[in-house]
């Protein structure tokens, strides 16, 4: 029987999600691809319990996480029942809907029919009465935004979600969605976006500025699918890595020029007493508009390595920022 670490809140820092009263840990745990049907249950359990023992209270899922779709929620629900039931009120559990889940016209995107059905399915898979945050996972170009946001508001009014968020929305649509939700009495507290040192589209799109004082920003893929780790610094592609499997990271993206730039970034990290991955997380957290950074982990050891990013304050000197910007401007 799992008993949580009594000092779990001593070292983690928490930030408010937008204008809400909800605070999230600076590092949250995403269950995207390491908690599916083929994963080892004890490894998954050790990752989740170690995270919570270190103050990570936020576990982020979606209906399509696995593989196969739905299996991550099922596994999480099983571990939740076995180990975390006494701690449910200390946890922030989120899920999402937007991508393909079942055949026919009602199995994806953003209709009221799909979103409400999907939330019901997610709650059953996890054995929950409610999720703390429910997101629309991607914009739907063919469904009126009013309908999609109305479905999110309905889930809150039903008590199936405490808060709502959006994901992968660009600035203009995000502002519209937030306004609609406010008019419906259901403020949007988070926009979950892909954001890293090597993928700065949210800055170029003006999204961070648009979200300021509107909703919090929570970042996924902070390590750019593994590029911002030590795995590729020697220019080789390790067996079992995402690049070796062409899974979310293509082998031909590991060019000589990019490896050189990664090593330049790593030199800055070493001078700061950090690994490259720790630098990447700190770089995101330096911006107070970022509520939390979503990290993934395939082992307890990898999780602990990622948590080390919090050992050093996220502050950067003007010289460090200038050097990093000069390096990043060369990235293509």
DSSP state string for 84-133: IGGGGGG-EEEEEE-S--SSSTTSSTT-HHHHHHHHHHHHHHHT-S-EEE
Task: Give the per-residue pLDDT at 313.
Answer: 75
Q: From CA 143, how far away is CA 331, in angstroms rounded?
A: 36
Alpha-carbon distances, residue 3 vs 10, 86, 267, 279 (angstroms): 17, 9, 40, 32
Domains and CATH numbers, the chain: 14-328 (3.20.20.100)
Q: Are 91 and 131 in contact (CB under 8 A)?
A: no
In whole angstroms, give the CA distance from residue 184 to residue 40. 43
**Residue 136 per-residue DSSP state:** E
Q: 3-state DSSP call for residue 161?
A: strand
Positions of the chain with pLDDT lower than 70, given as ranges: 237-251, 332
Enumerate the β-bridge partners of residue 217: 191, 290
Whether residue 212 contacts residue 291, with contact meaning beta carbons closer than 8 Å, is answered with no
Contact 254, 266 (CB under 8 A): no
Output phi, psi for 291, to 5 deg. -75, -45
- Torsion angles phi and psi, residue 62, rounded to 5: -155, 160
Instruction: Report how far residue 290's alpha carbon sits from residue 314's, in angstroms, rounded to the nearest whole number.
Output: 12
- pLDDT tens for 148-157 read 999 999 999 9
Residues 68 and 75: beta-carbon distance below 8 Å: no
3-state helix, strand, coil in the chain (%, to 5): 40, 15, 40
The first and second tokens of residue 45, run together, are: 């359990």
Report yes or no: 155 and 181 within 8 Å, Cβ to Cβ.
Answer: no
């Amino acid at each position: 029987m799992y008993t949580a670490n009594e000092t779990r809140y001593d070292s983690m820092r928490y930030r408010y999600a937008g204008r809400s009263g909800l605070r999230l840990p600076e590092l949250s745990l995403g269950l995207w691809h390491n908690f599916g049907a083929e994963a080892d249950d004890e490894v998954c359990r050790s990752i989740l319990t170690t995270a919570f023992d270190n103050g990570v209270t936020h576990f982020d899922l979606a209906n399509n996480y696995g593989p196969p779709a739905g299996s991550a929620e099922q596994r999480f629900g099983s571990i939740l029942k076995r180990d975390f039931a006494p701690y449910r009120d200390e946890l922030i559990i989120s899920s999402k809907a937007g991508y393909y889940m079942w055949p026919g016209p009602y199995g994806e995107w953003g209709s009221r029919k799909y979103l409400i059905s999907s939330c019901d399915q997610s709650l059953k898979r996890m054995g929950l009465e409610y999720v703390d945050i429910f997101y629309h996972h991607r914009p739907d170009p063919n469904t009126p935004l009013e309908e999609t946001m109305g479905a999110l508001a309905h889930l809150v009014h039903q008590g199936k979600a405490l808060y709502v968020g959006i994901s992968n929305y660009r600035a203009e649509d995000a502002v519209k969605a937030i306004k609609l939700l406010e008019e419906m009495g259901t403020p949007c507290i988070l926009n979950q976006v892909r954001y890293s040192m090597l993928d700065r589209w949210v800055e170029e799109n003006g999204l961070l500025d648009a979200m300021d004082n509107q909703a919090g920003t929570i970042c996924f893929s902070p390590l750019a699918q593994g590029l911002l780790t030590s795995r590729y610094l020697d220019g080789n592609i390790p067996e079992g890595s995402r690049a070796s499997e062409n899974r979310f990271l293509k082998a031909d993206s590991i060019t000589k020029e990019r490896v050189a730039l990664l090593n330049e970034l790593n030199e800055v990290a070493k001078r700061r007493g950090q690994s490259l991955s720790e630098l990447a997380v700190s770089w995101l957290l330096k911006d107070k508009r970022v509520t939390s950074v979503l990290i993934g982990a395939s082992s307890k050891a990898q999780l602990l390595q990622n948590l080390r990013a919090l050992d050093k304050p996220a502050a950067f000197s003007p010289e460090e920022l200038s050097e990093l910007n000069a390096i990043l401007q060369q990235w293509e």
